[in-house]
Structure 1
């Protein structure tokens, strides 16, 4: 089960599953040989046993969420920044304070965080949740599961992928709906 996929700026996506992770080569559309690997052995300071959600900002920082906490990971130094983990509450204005199921970043400066049957739109520039959230997934994400997403990631081709259990859906950002034939 993919719980926290994250697209890096090196053509790879990292997909977390329990205490393990997979490195996915986007150009070749497959998992790199030798995976899965243990999180604890290759991700200095990251939650070693479970990552609930992950997002990557365009400033070289990745954020990993678990329960009520998050970590900020510096992609250049390849390690968690000093002083982490920190509580979500008080550091992510307006965001769910715990149990984030999935997160994706659109190329318009907005990130979407999902929990249960709801989602929030987070403005990266203002560093807070937009007014009027949370909203229900149902009716706002055409064709997407109405609840309990496990993970989400956006490729550079305008497609977002959402995971739940052993299935996934491909969401077309331009048409704002799930592509035909999914899950």
Structure 2
């Protein structure tokens, strides 16, 4: 099951699965040779199993969530910053206090966090959830599953990918809807992923 996929830079993404992770070559559209690898020993300070969600901000930091906690990962230093994990409550204004299912970062300064059948829109600059949230996924994300997403990631081509179980959907950001013909199986469409 793909969880917490993050676009690390324009060419590489990381996708997590239990205690393992995959490095995905976005340009070649396949998992790099030698993966999966264990999180333990390769991501200093990161949760060693079950990473629920992840986002990369433009400040050189990535944030990973598990249960009611999160860590801040310094991309340049390649390790979790000192003092983490910390509780979500009190540090992410208005965000779900526990178990975030999926997250994506749009190019409009907003991040979207999903839990169950709801989502919130997080204003990165204001460092808080926008007024009027949470809202239901149904009716606001045309064509997307109504609940229980496992992960989401945005590529630099205007598409977002959402994962649930053994399937995925491709979401067109400009058209604001899932592309025709989805969901599709991950196996066979994401070379190197189970």
1:10 shift after superposition? 5.2
Tell me the distance in 2 between the aligned counterparts of 1:82 and 1:10: 27
Residue 12 of structure 1: aligned partner: 12
CA contact (8 A) 2:144 2:169 kept: yes
1:134 to 1:60, Cα distance in 2 relative to 1, 3 A: same
Deviations 1:69-120 (A, max 9, x none): 0000000000000000000000000000000000000000000000000000
Residue 103 of structure 1: aligned partner: 103
Is 1:85 the counterpart of 2:118? The answer is no
Q: When the two structures are superposed, what TM-score results if normalisation uses the length of structure 2?
A: 0.94
Residue 132 of structure 1: aligned partner: 132
1:49 shift after superposition? 1.1
Tell me the distance in 1 between the aligned counterparts of 2:111 and 2:157: 17
Tell me the distance in 2 between the aligned counterparts of 1:80 and 1:121: 25
Residue 120 of structure 2: aligned partner: 120
1:56 shift after superposition? 0.3
Q: RMSD of the alignment, in Å?
A: 0.5
Tell me the distance in 1 between the aligned counterparts of 2:138 and 2:146: 5
Residue 34 of structure 1: aligned partner: 34
Tell me the distance in 2 between the aligned counterparts of 1:98 and 1:30: 32
1:56-75 to structure 2, matched below 5 A, reads 56-75=56-75
Structure 1: runs of 5+ lacking an equivalent: none
Tell me the distance in 2 between the aligned counterparts of 1:67 and 1:100: 7
Is 1:24 the counterpart of 2:24? The answer is yes
1:11 shift after superposition? 1.1
SS of alignment partner, residue 40 of structure 2: helix
Structure 2: runs of 5+ lacking an equivalent: 184-194
**Off by >2 Å, runs of 4+ in structure 1:** none
Residue 186 of structure 2: aligned partner: none
Tell me the distance in 1 between the aligned counterparts of 2:137 and 2:6: 21
Q: State the number of aligned residues.
A: 183
